[in-house]
């Protein structure tokens, strides 16, 4: 449970190697977060991440095997995490794959695999998390989606469509949890400079994992339902969603 000053004391990260999630935990560590569970597909690769967090001030870091694509295992894995840590303040749902649209065009099975990770895996794990948060009567599930889900571009529409589904799911789950003490916060970053995007040119209003982390922590502090990062993307995408499709195609093409 959050401390007397409202600071987050414990976090579960689904997608433990996410640069945005790690930066967020480091920010929370400045405000007395001391217990972190890192859940990821390759636990061995999370060892250095755990060391980083300990250096940042986290005192307890547990590492758990979690495969976002293995939806059948999610309820068991998450229930076991809760059994070991019966009170978790925040869960960061931070896994996902960007993929390559050209590859997806030639390999529909690869496109489906990406959609399973980005959307189906988030649905199964998100529902399992929500049940535990509801049972304990408090806590926030922060779901990292993307502005790419606000309006799909031809250049990455498989990714964008999976994020659109994730965003809608997170909103509906948040509405369902109203009155339970638990909540969902939707996080919509723009183009973020990370290892996942290092092969790409910066998108408009490119930001960093650290900047997104600061916005996430501010949102948690305020109890926000939605966080845009950077915030100025919200009015811009409000306009984008109203553009006629031929005009949107031309505008989106210029972003490459």
Question: Residues with catalytic annotation?
Answer: 159
Tokens of 11: 């976090």
């Amino acid at each position: 449970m959050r401390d007397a000053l409202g600071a987050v004391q414990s976090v579960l990260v689904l997608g433990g190697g996410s640069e945005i999630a790690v930066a967020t935990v480091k920010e929370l560590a400045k405000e007395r977060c001391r217990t972190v569970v890192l859940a990821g597909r390759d636990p061995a690769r999370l060892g250095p991440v755990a060391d980083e967090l300990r250096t940042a001030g986290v005192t307890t870091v547990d590492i758990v095997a979690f495969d976002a694509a293995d939806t059948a295992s999610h309820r068991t894995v998450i229930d076991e995490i809760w059994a070991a840590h019966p009170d978790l303040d925040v869960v960061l749902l931070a896994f996902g794959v960007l993929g390559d649209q050209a590859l997806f065009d030639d390999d529909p099975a690869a496109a489906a695999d990406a959609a399973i990770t980005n959307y189906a895996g988030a649905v199964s794990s998100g529902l399992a998390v929500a049940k535990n948060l509801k049972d304990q009567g408090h806590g926030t599930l922060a779901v990292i989606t993307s502005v790419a889900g606000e309006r799909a571009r031809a250049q990455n529409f498989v990714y964008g469509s999976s994020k659109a589904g994730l965003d809608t799911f997170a909103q509906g789950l948040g509405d369902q949890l109203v009155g339970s003490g638990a909540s969902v916060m939707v996080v919509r970053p723009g183009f973020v400079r990370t290892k996942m995007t290092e092969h790409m040119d910066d998108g408009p209003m490119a930001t960093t994992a650290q900047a997104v982390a600061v916005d996430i922590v501010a949102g948690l502090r305020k109890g926000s339902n939605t966080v845009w990062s950077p915030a100025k993307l919200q009015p811009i995408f409000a306009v984008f969603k109203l553009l006629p499709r031929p005009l949107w195609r031309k505008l989106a093409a210029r972003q490459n």
